[in-house]
Amino acid sequence: MTTSDSTAHIIDGKAIAQETLAEVKARVPLLVEQGVEPCLAVLLVGEDPASQVYVRNKLKRCEECGIRSLEYCMPSDTTEYELLRLIAELNDDDQVNGILVQLPLPDHLSGTRVIDAIAPHKDVDGFHRNNIGGLVQGRTDVLAPCTPSGCMKMLRRYIDDFDGLHAVVIGSSNIVGKPMATMLLAAGCTVSIAHSKTRDTAALARQGDIVVVAVGKAGLVKQSWIKPGAVVIDVGINQIEGGEGKRKLTGDVDFPAVSQVARAITPVPGGVGPMTIACLLDNTLRAADIQNKNRSNVGDTNAHLHAGG
C-alpha cells in the first residue's frame, strides 16, 4: 500500500479516471444498439476563463467516449428567464439525456433556482434536491454528485472494508461535504463533519481513518492533523504563487508533509479533478439508461392496457 515506510501511496486520479472513462466508452454502443444515443447538454453563462476550461475538458471527454454533446454559450447578461426557458426546452427534449449548467453563475442568477429547474432524471451533476434527498434515503436510482462519487471510487481502491472506520469530512458544502458524508455513512463509516464553527478541527481530524478535505484554503491540513496510516482525499484546488511570477495549483492539504504519515493520499492536480469529469460522463450514461428503461416500461404498460389487460 505504500512506497516506503514513511511515504504515502499516491492515489493516481488520472489513471482511475481513465479506467472509468474506458468503461463508459464500452457501454455507449450497448445503448446505441437499443436506439439511444447518449447526449449531454452543457450550458455556460458568461466568459469566466476557468469555467471555459472546465467546459472544454468535459466536451472533449464526451467526444472521446462517443457521447454526443451540445454546447450552449450564453452572454453574462443572460436573464434568469432566458436561462430557465432553455433548460425547460432541454428537459422536454427526449434526445437530451443530461443537462449540466456550469457553476458558478453570474451574481444576478440564482444557482438554486437554476438547479431546481433541471429535471432530476437529467441532472447529471447530482445537485437537484430530489437527487440529494434520494441519496440521503439510500436510494440507488438517483444521480449522485460527481466529486463525492469520484472520491468514493478512489477510496474503494485502498479500503476493502469501511465498516466502523471513522471518516472526517472537513467542509460542509452542499456540493461536496454533505453528500460526501452521506456516502461514507452509507458505506458503513462513523462520520464527523468539520466546518467553520468547529472548535478544534485539528483534534477531530486526528481521529480520522479517512480524511476528506474540501474547504478551498491552501495548505490548511498539516501533518500534525493526520493520524499515521490514514487515507487522505484532497478535494481543494487553489492557485498560489509558484515563484518567478508564476501561479501553481495546490490543494487544501500540506502534501509534502502529510504524505509522510498518511497511508495513501491524492495529489493536486491529478487526484480528484479527473475523477469528477469521469463520474459526470458515467452519470450521463446512467441517466440515458434510466430514461430508456422508463420509456420502455411506459410502452409496455400502454400496450398492456390497449390489449385490454
- Report strand pairing: 210-213 vs 231-234: parallel
Please identify which of the residues 14, 18, 52, 58 carries the catalytic annotation.
58
Please identify which of the residues 14, 92, 122, 125 carries the catalytic annotation.
125
User: Any catalytic annotation for residue 102?
Assistant: yes
Distances (CA, A) of 221 to 45, 240, 282: 34, 16, 31
User: Any catalytic annotation for residue 239?
Assistant: no
User: Any catalytic annotation for residue 77?
Assistant: no
Q: Which three cell numbers stand for residue 189?
A: 463509516
Q: Which three cell numbers stand for residue 73?
A: 454559450
- Report strand pairing: 231-234 vs 238-243: unpaired
Catalytic residues, by residue number, are 58, 102, 125
